[in-house]
Structure 1
Amino acid sequence: MTSENSNSESKIGSLRTEQVDAKYHLLDAMSVTELLQAMNESDAEVPRAIALKLPEIEKAIDGIVDRLLQGGRLIYLGAGTSGRLGVLDAAECGPTFSVSEDQVLAFIAGGDQALRFPAEGVEDDPTAGATDLKLKNVSQLDAVVGIAASGRTPYVIGALQLAKEVGALTIGLTGNPNSEISKIVDHPIEIDSGPELLAGSTRLKSGTAQKLVLNMISTIAMVRLGKTYGNLMVDLQVTNEKLQDRALRIIEKATGAVRAESTRALKEANHEVKVAILMLLLNLDAKAARERLLASSNRIREALGTE
């Protein structure tokens, strides 16, 4: 073993996410009841750790919203569990908020195959992360979020370095204080939820922390972009029976209309929930409602003049 490899391994071993929690040293001897209680106790540390970092998360979201308003994109990158969670969040923004596949997107080290099958070796290549971003022509308008529990994943670091070079906004979502990623990004978000119940298994608390923060980033960004009315999901895509029913219930909640009225309006609005709501609240036809919405930055509250 070279001294370089030995030094790298010692650094990894010193990470908070790699430590062994003495509370759970008899994990293999616990009953199922005890294991459930232990996992629940361990997971409860995550929201407390996130609460300490809300100011940092707020700054990152403000920056992301600013880039999106300028026509930029939100781009996630990660490897392993971190990459899968980024892909999950990006994939759900389309049906939930009617954003295009190119407005919120994600890369995972190893490509789509790594979503189902392990491709852990790929994460050690920093050029792979940079190459993925180059293929999408990352620019100064974009916001790039690097996700890595360790805070040192080369694939993510390579991507973030390229993003910095072109002037993109950079955010690092990590699980270790003072990480390598945090030193190179504009907005570091370090969620220190402590050692894992199963030592080193960062798909547990670290993964939970990442999912909760990604929920915050995408949901709050979309709220700020006018994708909701109150807490109603008014920009959802109506693509199946369940979403059709949800859309009708949203229209009824927002307007007080009965099912027949909401059904008619949604059909005339070409299944655009926002347009249907304005039609009913302002007694407009679909064309006039759509024009009013466009003139109001696609925000229902602004279109109603009730801001």
Structure 2
Amino acid sequence: MAKDIQGTEKHSPRYHNIDTWPAEDMLESLWASQLRAISCIQQSIPEISASAEAIAERLSHGGRLFYIGAGSSGHLAIQDCVEINPTYGWPLDKLIPLIAGGKDALLAPMGGAEDDERISVKSLKAHAISAQDVIIAVAASGSTPYTLAAVKHARSQGSLVISVANNRHAPIYDHAHHSIFLDSGSEVIAGSTRMAAGTAQKAALNMLSTLTMTKLGHVHDGLMVSMVINNEKLENRGAAIIQEITGSDSETAKKCLNEADKNIKLAVLLAMNHPKAEAEKALADNQGHLRQAMEKLKVTY
């Protein structure tokens, strides 16, 4: 068991004397390692799918989404977390990123913090994590004390626990409802899990959050219909989305977007000539799912 747990730390003999290799040979090995990291995700697709379904169910009933990790894994967890609001409009007060060492750890190494089990539990208690909530825990080894203590506490509070790790027998799986194992193997640079393990984590988290937000109605025909519009570029993109869905002209799309206070879904329904009050009700009645709202209004009118 210990052999598997330390899989990401193994020193592969194939990379012996790599520091003496020609530059292009070394890069070929790094490239091949990255390809393997991406390809290993395929075997985890069923678990990623089940995880997204479970997360969406919990969040659709008012839950919050916690992300937690330490070191490189923590950085990747935080990155996925902070991109959900601008991309899918998920409320900031329902997104809680936690990393060992806090904000300081985003710019400087805070190695000691990842060994302190009390810090993560204290943070989760401060946020009053509950059975409504979801926590996504990311750890290459799956045994980081900070992260392991967090999943134990979250599970004890009834929270939905999703554990993402790169070792088959990761301890954080023991406390998870869903375990996403990413078999990225040993690193070219032994123990540097920001490389292959990190690449697999980044891609898997992208897939997990994208499917979750799609299930929650924030994607329509591959378009970001819930994105936050806060500059001219995004306003133009929002108008283009409205045009693509409705077939309206640019002037109408922009007019409807302004009337909808930059809410793309509402603007789409306005561009389809539905009264604003009816459009707002249709979206509210269908938990913000544009396609369902369109179907309801199609039947009504």
Q: Is the 8 A contact 1:12 1:18 kept in 2?
A: no
What residue is the counterpart of 2:293 in the other structure?
A: 303
Instruction: Tell me the distance in 1 between the aligned counterparts of 2:27 and 2:250.
Output: 44
- Please state whether the residue corresponding to 1:239 is helix, strand or coil: coil
Instruction: Tell me the distance in 2 between the aligned counterparts of 1:14 and 1:93.
Output: 31
Runs of 4+ in 1 over 4 A off after TM superposition: 10-14
Gaps of 5+ in 2: none
Aligned pair 1:294/2:284, yes or no? yes
Instruction: Tell me the distance in 1 between the aligned counterparts of 2:4 and 2:178.
Output: 25
Letter in 1 for 2:172: I
Aligned pair 1:161/2:152, yes or no? yes
What residue is the counterpart of 2:52 in the other structure?
A: 61
Cα gap change, 1:14 to 1:302, in 2 (>3 Å): closer
Q: Is the 8 A contact 2:4 2:167 kept in 1?
A: no
Aligned pair 1:132/2:123, yes or no? yes
What residue is the counterpart of 1:197 in the other structure?
A: 188
Q: Which has the higher contact order (CA 8 A, sep 6+)?
A: 2
What residue is the counterpart of 2:80 in the other structure?
A: 89
Determine which of 102, 108, 114 is the counterpart of 1:117: 108
5 Å-filtered alignment, 1:94-243, equals 94-243=85-234
TM-score by length of structure 2 reads: 0.94
Instruction: Tell me the distance in 2 between the aligned counterparts of 1:31 and 1:285.
Output: 67
- Please state whether the residue corresponding to 2:233 is helix, strand or coil: helix
Aligned alpha-carbon RMSD (Å): 1.8
5 Å-filtered alignment, 1:270-281, equals 270-281=261-272
- Please state whether the residue corresponding to 1:81 is helix, strand or coil: helix
What residue is the counterpart of 1:4 in the other structure?
A: none
Letter in 2 for 1:134: K
How far off its partner does 1:12 sit? Answer: 8.3
Instruction: Tell me the distance in 2 between the aligned counterparts of 1:114 and 1:72.
Output: 27
Letter in 2 for 1:297: Q
5 Å-filtered alignment, 1:242-261, equals 242-261=233-252
What residue is the counterpart of 1:5 in the other structure?
A: none
What residue is the counterpart of 2:28 in the other structure?
A: 37
Q: Is the 8 A contact 2:5 2:141 kept in 1?
A: no
Instruction: Tell me the distance in 1 between the aligned counterparts of 2:111 and 2:236.
Output: 41
